[in-house]
């Protein structure tokens, strides 16, 4: 029996340039916060932080020898996604009177994600420790005590029951506090889905220059992860603000300006979670008595095993008159009444990331290295072709028909017409597999610089009644460690001492 890995042939590309940009800001906001410098000046200079970001797939350094007199500091960011855990070790350098530049970055990823250890929490410690060892090797010993260490978890942990997620966070916190790095009490947490979307929107609009160029139109963001999918854009039509359901609007405050954003994260509609739903499975539950999950979206003669969230499922295809048509009906049933349709997306320029990129590249719709653009209808065209081919010929991934059909219908459910153009950044500009959503930690460090606030958004924004002013898109309870303690006067801590946003 053929066993299919969780990802098939997909790599789930995430952009490192935005992460360097955003985490550079993350670390520097902490730095200026505890050294009484100007956070606003730092924020406007973040485009320069990525200038040194070039090199190989695991680490990159400046190509020129650094001048004497540089002040050097480091930061460590763990990104705990639904399909893997990644560590990013950043080195920054600053000349007197200037803002920092990102001069070195090291990256390593491990699979599976933290959520895979929900029933055996102790096993999660080994992977976390392995990634911490990467940081130890990369950061000089004398800097360890002053280097902030943070973990942000995403949809994988949001999908777990609260008690299980909390136990995982506590284990990570335990491992972190046994490390030689600087760890605050609230530096292990689960990002809320809205923060993921807003963070990515900030990133994309800095990359396109929209936030730095007065009068320039902003762009929207589409992100398809393993456990959730996000859509975020800045509405210009009042009707969008008035008709949006509760929880779909949030206000982003930056430098005396408030952006009323349409931003929502759909938990359970990430590509891997969607696969399971299309197969008829239930998240976190093995099939009853080892029964086979049948799907018209798989090749009719296919039979094998697929692993998702540390559970192995027996799966098989079904005979169908038309693989695409039958699969499309099944996918439409999974999406029915779960996605909000908004007309304004037709008029907004959008960039797409993650599995959107991987699927498009895997079937030749865009160049795998150069990125590019396509129209939404190209996904449907590719799905019909691939599904028809799978009826008679094997493919390296039995999920390719299902995945393309799902993406095609998901985009149409959002409101994108078939002729709508979507864009991707070139991989040479954003070359590594990572997650840029960690910028959400900015809200915990510098409330005076950036925050999301549904209370100031249009009516129906869905603010959390327990913590007014913070949007709640995914209706899932927060899992956080204790409030961050106030650091000593001259230490660098990635926590603010203020209440952080809830999930």
Q: Residues annotated as binding site for ATP?
A: 226-230
- On whether the CB atoms of residues 113 and 153 are closer than 8 A, the answer is no
Distance CA 206, CA 157 (A): 29
DSSP letter assigned to residue 28: H
- On whether the CB atoms of residues 289 and 217 are closer than 8 A, the answer is no
- Among 495, 313, 497, 345, CA closest to 411: 345
Using DSSP, state whether 76 is helix, strand or coil: strand
- On whether the CB atoms of residues 148 and 494 are closer than 8 A, the answer is yes
Q: Which helix (H) or strand (E) holds 352?
A: strand 350-354
- Which residue has tokens 């393993």? 226
DSSP letter assigned to residue 285: B
Q: Quick check: is 196 catalytic?
A: yes
Strands 188-190 and 149-153 come out as: parallel
Q: 450-486: b or e for each residue (b if 16 or more CB lie within 10 Å)? A: bbbbbebbbebbbbbeeeebbbbbbebebbbbeebee
Q: Which helix (H) or strand (E) holds 238?
A: helix 238-243
For residue 292, give every residue at least 6 positions away whose Cβ sits within 8 Å of its Cβ, in sequence order, or none: 303, 314, 315, 316
Helix and strand numbers (H, E) in the chain are 13, 18
For residue 37, give every residue at least 6 positions away whose Cβ sits within 8 Å of its Cβ, in sequence order, or none: 31
- Which residue has tokens 């009707």? 239
Catalytic residue among 71, 130, 174, 196: 196
- Among 269, 206, 251, CA closest to 21: 206
Find the Cα–Cα–Cα–Cα dihedral 40, 86, 162, 5, rounded to 10°: 140
Q: Which residue ranges are tagged as binding site?
A: 226-230
Specify which residues 375 forms β-bridges with.
421
Q: Which residues are catalytic?
A: 196
């Amino acid at each position: 029996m053929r066993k299919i890995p969780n990802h098939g042939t997909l790599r789930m590309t995430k952009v490192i340039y935005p992460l360097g940009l955003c985490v550079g800001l993350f670390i520097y906001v902490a730095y200026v916060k505890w050294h009484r410098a100007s956070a606003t000046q730092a924020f406007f200079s973040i485009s320069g932080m990525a200038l040194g970001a070039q090199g190989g797939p695991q680490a990159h350094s400046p190509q020129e020898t650094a001048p004497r007199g540089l002040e050097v500091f480091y930061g460590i960011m763990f990104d705990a996604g639904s399909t893997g855990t990644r560590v990013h070790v950043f080195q920054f350098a600053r000349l007197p009177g200037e803002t920092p530049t990102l001069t070195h970055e090291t990256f390593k990823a491990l699979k599976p994600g933290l959520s895979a250890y929900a029933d055996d929490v102790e096993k999660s410690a080994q992977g976390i420790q392995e990634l911490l060892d990467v940081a130890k090797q990369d950061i000089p010993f004398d800097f360890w005590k002053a280097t902030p260490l943070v973990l942000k978890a995403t949809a994988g942990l949001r999908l777990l029951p609260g008690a299980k997620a909390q136990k995982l966070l506590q284990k990570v916190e335990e491992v972190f506090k046994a490390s030689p790095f600087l760890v605050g009490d609230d530096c292990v947490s689960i990002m809320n889905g809205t923060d993921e979307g807003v963070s990515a929107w900030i990133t994309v609009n800095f990359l396109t220059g929209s936030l730095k160029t007065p009068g320039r139109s902003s762009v929207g963001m589409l992100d398809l992860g393993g456990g959730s999918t996000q859509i975020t854009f800045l509405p210009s039509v009042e009707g969008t603000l008035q008709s949006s359901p509760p929880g779909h609007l949030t206000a982003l405050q930056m430098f005396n300006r408030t952006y009323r954003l349409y931003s929502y994260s759909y938990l359970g509609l990430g590509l891997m979670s969607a696969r399971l739903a299309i197969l008829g499975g239930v998240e976190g539950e093995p099939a009853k008595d080892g029964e086979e999950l049948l799907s018209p979206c798989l090749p009719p003669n296919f039979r094998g095993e697929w692993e998702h969230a540390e559970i192995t499922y027996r799966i098989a295809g079904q005979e169908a008159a038309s693989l695409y048509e039958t699969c499309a009906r099944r996918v439409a049933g999974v999406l029915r009444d779960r996605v909000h349709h908004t007309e304004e997306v037709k008029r907004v320029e959008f960039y797409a990331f993650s599995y959107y990129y991987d699927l498009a590249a895997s079937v030749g719709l865009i160049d795998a290295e150069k990125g590019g653009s396509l129209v939404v209808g190209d996904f449907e065209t590719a799905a019909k072709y691939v599904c028809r081919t799978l009826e008679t010929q094997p493919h390296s991934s039995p999920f390719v028909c299902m995945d393309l059909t799902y993406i095609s219908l998901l985009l149409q459910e959002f409101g994108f017409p078939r002729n709508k153009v979507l864009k991707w950044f070139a991989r040479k500009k954003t070359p590594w597999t990572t997650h840029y959503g960690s910028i959400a930690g900015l809200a915990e460090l510098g409330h005076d610089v950036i925050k999301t606030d549904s209370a100031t958004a249009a009516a129906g924004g869905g603010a959390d009644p327990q913590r007014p002013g913070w949007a709640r898109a995914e209706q899932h309870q927060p899992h956080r460690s204790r409030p961050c303690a106030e650091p000593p006067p001259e230490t660098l801590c990635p926590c603010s001492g203020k209440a952080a946003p809830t999930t």
